[in-house]
Amino acid sequence: MPHINPAPAYETGAHARALAAAGVQPTSPTACTKGKSGVTPATARDDLIEQRVAAHAAASSWSRHTAAVQAWQRARELVSAAPGRIWPPDRLREAWVVYRYGTAIRDDWLTPDSGPERVGDHGAGDAGTRGRGQQHRAATAIALYELHAEHRPAGWPRAGAAALCVLAALGRADTLEGDIARLLVLAKDMRACIILSDAERRARMARRALARARPMPSPLSFRSSRRARWETIEQRRCRLRDELLLTGDDPSTWTIAAAIEHRIGPNPPAELVDDVVDQELDGARSRQLRYADELRFGRWDLPPT
């Protein structure tokens, strides 16, 4: 059995050596710390805790700052890397914290509470919890962004990992998971600028519309053959889009109001249970127009730093 020293830590001299290394005068654990009742006063106990915390912070300041500088260098390497590189999740989380909380430098020294200093103090904990599947979601968003990088916002990098750091610098999400979701939305908006002219996509849409138009064998088929009296705005959009696809037309050039005006579909149309909203029949066209508006109004502008 190994020998275990039953003496408290202050009797072994460990605390005294740590305080002496930091230049802090240690206090005796028995001198002036007990009152008449024999209970240690709260003020003396708090002073002792503050001294120990200050001693630990002073003794570890050099190592924490060194870790912060290294985290800053690794984050800059990630941002300047070429597209296509697969980054470990810890590197992504660390770089996100660095750019989310800023990399301000003052007199060749990282400012307190900056992103690198946070990494040096307690790692990448400020990136939030790493939920199940976060690495897969990040890799999917990065790959989709790099696949359609020619339609990225002005000034944005081609690499998806660097784009994730740009989103972190914008400071609109509190965790890495939020910016992964925002990167995926941006990548889908960029993809919408390409898929509208894809003939194969239109052919797949036409095949699905034909399959939906076929009557399903059912003993209640007499009910399904009757025209609906009410429909939502989404049901109307899908119905008009399918009717245009069955006639060989391109639904990306139509809106709901234009289709109704040209008497496409049953007349009079079913009554709407929602508010009357004129929107694009093709979801990709609607996403493309929304993305163009966001670029015009500066939602995806680069941060000032």
Q: How far apart are CA 159 and CA 165, in angstroms?
A: 10
Residue 33: predicted pLDDT = 46
- Annotated domain spans of the chain: 13-31+40-61, 65-194, 199-214+229-281
Would you state the structure tokens that stand for residue 82, as one six-digit string?
């070429």
Which residues, other chains included, contact 270 with Cβ-Cβ below 8 Å and sequence gap of 6+?
Answer: 227, 228, 229, 230, 231, 236
Helices (H), 33-151: 42-80, 89-100, 115-122, 134-147
Identify the three-state secondary structure at position 135: helix
Whether residue 193 contacts residue 151, with contact meaning beta carbons closer than 8 Å, is answered with yes
What is the per-residue pLDDT for 43? Answer: 78
The CA-atom distances, in angstroms, between 205 and each of 83, 99, 216, 283 are 32, 42, 19, 12
Residue 296, pLDDT score: 93
What 3-state class would DSSP assign to 110?
strand
Residue 253: its pLDDT value, please?
Answer: 86
CB atoms within 10 A of CB 289: 13
Contact assessment for residue 72 and residue 103, using Cβ atoms and an 8 Å cutoff: yes
What is the model's pLDDT at position 137?
A: 95
Measure the CA dihedral 14/16/22/24, to 10°.
160
Dihedrals phi, psi of 205, to nearest 5 degrees: -60, -40
Task: Render pLDDT for 272-283 as a digit per residue (tens, 0 to 9).
Answer: 776 767 788 888
Which residue reads 């502008």 in tokens? Answer: 301
What is the pLDDT, as a whole number, of residue 141?
96
pTM of the predicted protein model: 0.71
Low-confidence ranges of the chain (pLDDT < 50): 1-7, 9-10, 30-31, 33-37, 39, 105-109
Q: What is the pLDDT of residue 5?
A: 47
Q: Which residues pair with 272 in a beta bridge?
A: 231
DSSP 47-68: HHHHHHHHHHHHHHHHHHHHHH
Nearest to 126 by CA among 117, 134, 135, 139: 117
Q: Chain-wide mean pLDDT for the chain?
A: 79
Amino acid at position 131, single letter: G
Q: Which residues pair with residue 230 across a beta bridge? A: 271
